[in-house]
A and B are shown apart, each in its own frame.
Chain A
């Protein structure tokens, strides 16, 4: 519980602050752009559907690569840490999805006031699931690289396969190279598939990190 509390209070707060600053920045940029040309796209949509997932992936990597060894050095078992990290990923994804949705609400208000055209975006659930899977895949890849060194690269395709599904429910999140029309391929089952992808990534992280040696840090 101590580890979970520390992870959520520090990292969730940090992530929420980053998201809030990015939102403020995006609003400013939108107004600057409006001075030169008409606003046709939602900048917040670009952030939430394109950039945010990479941030979540990074947080996942950070949690396993940086925090796990510190936890063990402070007398915590890997198991205790992984329990905390699993719970943390859900909380983080929830908070970030909430912020994304709040952002859309505020942005929508601004757009209608200014009479700009706001384009469509997905449901909060779609963002939650996307963030959840990307965070878990970040943890999974970090575990693979920490455990297997350079051979961890062979696990990246697995991570890639797991995140493909998350783009289905979000307009503008873009198709991955070579895989077009993911929504069409998956139909309406992408909700369930996202949850499955999250569980696979999490299970993979557990299997790999469960008895991982803590290596000497190179300084």
Chain B
């Protein structure tokens, strides 16, 4: 389930963020409890709790005492904004480098992207 090569809590936090981004987890929706997460992924509950704490610190989740964890209203917008900031550096630049390494002209890449634009329009 986990590659055991980076802290598991970070992998869990990333998964929850991905769910928020994709809309699988909606604003003000309750997320599973620490113990449910721990049992489901077969991980130590303290590790799951750490992931949740990180997400609370980042304001992706908020805590309702005695009830559980909920997705904050601004979580999706916030994560989208963060994603936009790093998108070119983390996604586009490596893609361009890869295209160059294997000899695909950038013009071809751009044409492909334009096709996507038309397709989705």
Direct contact of A and B (CB under 8 A): no
List the interface of chain A (C-beta within 8 A of B): none
